[in-house]
Amino acid sequence: MKTKIKRYFKVQSEIERYGYSFSMRRFYQVVAFSIILIVVIGITFNLSRGYLACVILVMVASLPQIITVTYRGLDSQQRFADLNNYLEQLVMSFKRRGNLITALQETRQIFAPGAMAVILDRAIGHINEANGSEAYRQGLGMIEEKYGCSRIRKVHDFLYDVEKLGGDYGSVLNLIDQERLLWQERVYLVAAGKKQIEKTIYLSCVMATIIAAVMGLILPDELNVFALDYLQLLTAGYLVAIIVIVTVVHSLLSGGYFEELRVLDQHEYEKYVRLHSQRGLLNRNDIISLFIVAVGLLLLAVGRQVVAAGILAMVFVLIIIKIGGRKKRCQRVLQSNLSIAFMYWLLDISLLLQNNNIHMAIKQSIEKAPAMLQNDLKKLVDDLEKSPNSITPYQNFLGGFDLPDVKSVMRSFYALDRNGSGSNGKFLNDLLERNNHLVDKTEKLALENRLAYINVLQYLPMLLATFKLLGDLTGFMMVLIIKMKGG
């Protein structure tokens, strides 16, 4: 029996995968406590046995998700701490030693037995044993695959290129570590914000449930209002909705220590560019949608189906609003993603500028640049070859978008080109320091916007409780009228 339950819920195996243990005895205790809690709430709401059983089934079915997500959040927190310590020590050791394998070996020494120690042993062993130029990439790739964070790939690529190309990299490494500190602060701030939002939503659920139970506590038992079928269904639906809210909120807000800004891939970028560059407001799909809705609206109006016609009219208006705002939405999405991609590209070009002039650095950076920038960078290189002494190619880079930070950096590139490579060092330091703060500001704003959407859920329990009370009040009035007529 126990084996079947394990296999059905898959809780224990999932938790063990995260490096924790969770006995079935403890799982039964959680289930028993949850059932007792639902029974007490059900009695308070005068819920019948059939509906109470349905709510209990929903609660029990949600427990595997809640428990698994809890341990997933703990694992995410530990993995972030390991990765943060790894990046800090790796950069510090590389700055001192100037050799990547030595830096990896020193970094390994700070970790006690655990997931990070295991993967570092594997990576170092592979680099030492394998032959060929790909040994480093394969070994570092093991760490990157384990932690799945783009930041670790950027640092690895930078250190690998520094070892291969050389250059005065000390100040750049300091700025990379500064960016890591900003990332650490940002992640912990967002984690604290998530916990606060989660507590607020849970408190809202508790308060809403207490308010929703008030009617059952104050009405006299002889009225037997809550025996009405629709009120039994309404009460069960309310409790199920609260359980779903708690499960969804816990899933959304647990963990997430590796959340990053995702840049559009090439296919998505081209789609937005097509929509943005489209002439006129309407495309073929828009015309077809509007025609179908207009015909349906006309038929309903002729048939005097007022309610259905009103709903369809609202749909028609919503389609018009969506079409009208599409170009601005595309502009906003493209500008945001191009800004982020440009910031990430600056780190790559900073290394290339150690040993190249600005023209050559831009040309060599194209291969590793974000996909959405590659065509514009190729055009920039072509324009520079035609007009090497002009500021116009720099000014025209991403010229179709309002990106003041990008324009400012491109003007700085032109000034660097005119002044010669002797001023590279100070220019790069200023550029990367400003870039660090821009990335920090952009990522903070994006993460706060995501949390703002989730925070709206705190109002949902109160809204549900309001509908519940309205339903109870309606039932009370119905029973009271029947009693008065009967009297």
Q: Which stretches of 303-421 are DSSP H helices?
A: 306-352, 358-365, 371-386, 392-396, 404-419
d(Cα 34, Cα 46) in Å, to the nearest integer?
A: 18
Tokens of 140: 């570092």
* 64 and 123 co-located in one domain: no
**Would you say residue 277 has pLDDT above 70?**
no
**Six-digit token string for 152:** 């670790």
pLDDT of residue 244: 92
Domain identity same for 375 and 400: yes
User: What's the residue count for the chain?
Assistant: 487
> Residue 275 in contact with residue 330, Cβ under 8 Å?
yes
Same-domain status, 182 and 128: yes
The 10s digit of each residue's pLDDT in 416-438 is 777 765 555 666 677 777 777 77
Sequence-separated contacts (24+) of 443-452 with Cβ below 8 Å:
443/186, 443/260, 443/261, 444/186, 444/189, 446/261, 446/336, 447/186, 447/190, 447/259, 448/190, 448/193, 450/259, 451/190, 451/193, 451/194, 451/197
Residues 350 and 441 in one domain: yes
Q: For the purposes of burial, counting CB atoms within 10 Å of the CB of 222, is it exposed (0-12), middle (13-18) or buried (19 or more)?
A: exposed
Please say which residue of 311, 334, 357 terminates a domain. 334
Q: Are residues 362 and 436 in the same domain?
A: yes
Q: Which of 167, 186, 205 is the last residue of a domain?
A: 186
Residue 64 forms part of a structural domain = yes
Answer left, alpha or beta for residue 130, where phi above 0 means left and psi between -120 and 50 means alpha. beta
CA–CA separation, 278 vs 284, rounded Å? Answer: 12
Is there a contact between 16 and 6 (Cβ–Cβ < 8 Å)? Answer: no
Question: If you search the block for the tokens 């029974």, which residue do you land on?
Answer: 39
Residues with Cβ < 8 Å from 333, sequence gap 6 or more? Answer: 264, 272
pLDDT at 56 over 90: yes
pLDDT (tens digit per residue) in 340-393: 788 778 877 876 776 778 888 888 888 888 888 888 899 998 988 888 888 888
Q: For position 426, what pLDDT does the model report?
A: 67
pLDDT exceeds cutoff 70 at 153: yes
Is 22 domain-assigned?
A: yes
- Residues above pLDDT 90, as percent of the chain: 7
Same domain, 210 and 234: yes
Q: Is the same domain home to 111 and 161? A: yes
132 or 477, greater pLDDT = 477
- What pLDDT does residue 53 have? 92
Cα–Cα distance measured from residue 185 to residue 191, given in angstroms and rounded to the nearest whole number: 10
82 in any annotated domain = no
Residue 8 is predicted with a pLDDT of 45
Mean pLDDT of the 388-401 span: 85
pLDDT above 50: residue 106: yes
> Does residue 298 or residue 19 have the better pLDDT?
298
Amino acid at site 128: N
Residues 363 and 444 in one domain: yes
Q: 149 in a domain, yes or no?
A: yes
For residue 339, tell me if it sits in a domain: no
pLDDT at residue 286 is higher than 70 = no
Residues 59, 20: one domain? yes
pLDDT higher than 70, residue 471: yes
Domain region containing 322? 266-334
Residues 180, 208: one domain? no
Single residue among 151, 171, 186 that ends a domain in this structure: 186
Domain count across the chain: 4
Instruction: For residues 280 and 363, state if they share a domain.
Output: no
- Per-residue confidence at 57, pLDDT binned at 50, 70, 90? very high
Do 68 and 203 lie in one domain? The reply is: yes
Q: What is the pLDDT of residue 295?
A: 75
- Tens of pLDDT, residue by residue over 436-447, are 777 777 777 777
